[in-house]
Each structure stands twice: as structure tokens, then as C-alpha cells.
Amino acid sequence: PVVFSARGIHKSYGSTEILKGVDLELRRGEHVAIVGPSGSGKSTFIRCLNLLERPDQGSIALLGEPVFDAEHPGRGMKQRDLRKRVGMVFQSFNLFTTHTALQNVSLAQRRALGRSRVEADERSRDLLTRVGLGGHLGSLPSQLSGGQQQRVAIARALALDPQIMLFDEPTSAIDPEMRNEVLSVMRDLAEKGMTMVVVTHELQFAERAADRMLFLADGEVLESGSPREVLHSP
Ligand code: ADP
Ligand code: ADP
């Protein structure tokens, strides 16, 4: 079954058309990697998928429910509601710097889902342990490496029990030697059947973990297919 679909997504900044009609359909448990040159619109596209950017044209649906429809603005979903269902991991982690790892993961659940502190903390401990940070619950972001901070951010997103996860260049701001610990958490999620969209420059990761790859150039999908087809096409 189709979990998520985006059709004909257009987006301009001023008079510059950044996205020229991009389509994406995700089946349950599918992992799609979006690759392409810098400036091609990858980040703009993934931000449109959870309405961090508002598309100018096109429509988006999650499990058949309208998320966004440029032709029927009243039919959309509130960004607030969407955020619980579509988890997002950013290049720059976006953690609260004055909060510990545990507090960062708990706060999101208490705010978005209204979970009690006890409930949220318990879930946070489980998730942080699962991403290898059981020994760092009380650490502030500044006491953690980039790879560790990004794993906190992944735990925070997972804590809301999202139906799909979006990753926007999750390892680009991390030292190369720390990237693997993040990629391995992502591979693990993929193996467990999470539906995922990943914008990345890590072609090796994309080739191994993705079922399908979109090659975006100048705001259009130039290639779409298995990683092998896309990476080795002439
Ligand atoms: P990619 O992720 O593929 O590197 P982006 O989606 O970040 O590409 O950017 C595509 C283009 O859109 C770039 O030329 C960028 O400068 C421009 N852009 C991105 N965000 C904005 C914005 N908020 N205002 C104006 N231009 C933007
Ligand atoms: P608010 O103060 O509106 O409750 P939050 O503190 O929950 O916002 O989030 C702060 C920022 O983190 C948001 O502006 C947004 O950019 C980002 N963010 C957090 N979670 C998500 C998500 N699941 N999808 C999109 N953006 C998110």
C-alpha cells in the first residue's frame, strides 16, 4: 500500500523556480534516497514534504489523507499534526543546547503527544539506549560528538512514533569518522521496516540501504529507479 505521495510539487523563491514538478510515491517500508548536485532542490523538496516549506503547486497525502493540496487550501493538515506523523532529522541536529539528551527526547513527546514526564522519560531511555547512547542520558549536546547529537535527534523523532521518517543530509555536518554510527542507526531502522526518505551525498549508504533512488537536477527528477540503475546510468 502507498503510505505517502507527493504529486507535481512546484516551488519558487522569488522568480526562481527551484522545484519544477517533482513526484514521489512511497509504499509501506520503502526506503528512498534522493541524490543530486548541490543546489538542485533536494532540501527544498524534503522540506515541502512536511510543510516546512509550502509548495506553490501540487498535492501531498499521507495514508490517503490530504496533507496539502494547492488547489484546495482548506483540505490540508496542520503542520503541528503532521509533525507527529512525519519524523524529521536535520543536517544541523536542532537540539536544545540547554537540555540533556534525555530532556531533548522527552520534551518533544510531552509537547506533541502530551505524554507524562514519567512515560516520556521511560520511552526516551529506551530509544537512547537503542541508538547506543544509554550511557549519555544526562549529557548536554555540547558534551556529545556530532554523531552522538544526531543520534539523539533521531531518537527524538522516533519517540513520536512517526509513520515515515525524513532525513535531510543527516551526516553532512558530522566528522567523517563519526558518520558510520549514524548511518548504522539508519540502516537498522530501514531493516526494521521504517518508511524513509533520505537526502544524502553518501552514495555508498544510498546504494546499500535504498530500494529506490531519485536523481534530482535543477528541480526535476532526471532518473528514478534502483540505486544500481540510477548510479550506473550513462
Ligand atoms: P540542495 O538541497 O539540492 O542543495 P536546496 O533545496 O537547498 O538544494 O536549494 C536549491 C536552491 O534554492 C538553491 O539555489 C538555494 O540557494 C535556493 N534556496 C533554498 N532555500 C531558499 C530560500 N529560503 N530563499 C531563497 N532561495 C532559496
Ligand atoms: P514549537 O516551538 O513550535 O513547538 P518545536 O520546539 O517543536 O517547535 O520545534 C522547533 C523546530 O524544530 C521547528 O521550528 C522545526 O523546524 C523543527 N522540527 C522539530 N520536529 C520536527 C518535525 N517532526 N518536522 C519538522 N520540523 C520539526
Instruction: Say what the pLDDT of residue 80 is.
Output: 85
Rg, C-alpha atoms of the chain: 17
Instruction: State what percent of residues in the chain have pLDDT above 70.
Output: 100
pTM of the model: 0.89
Torsion-angle region of residue 36: left (phi > 0), alpha (psi -120 to 50) or beta?
left
Cell numbers 523538496: residue: 45
- pLDDT below 50 — which residues of the chain? none
Return the axis-axis angle of helices 117-130 and 146-158, rounded to nearest 10°: 130
| Phi, then psi, of 185 in degrees rounded to 5 | -65, -40
Average model confidence (pLDDT) across the chain? 95
For atom 27 of ligand 1, the residue with the nearest CA is 13
Tell me the CA–centroid distance for residue 229 and ligand 2, in Å. 36
Residues 6+ apart with CB under 8 A from 177: none
Ligand 1: residues whose CB is within 6 Å? 13, 18, 36, 38-44
Are the CB atoms for 75 and 146 separated by under 8 Å?
Answer: no
Give the Cα separation of 71 and 84 in Å (integer).
Answer: 25
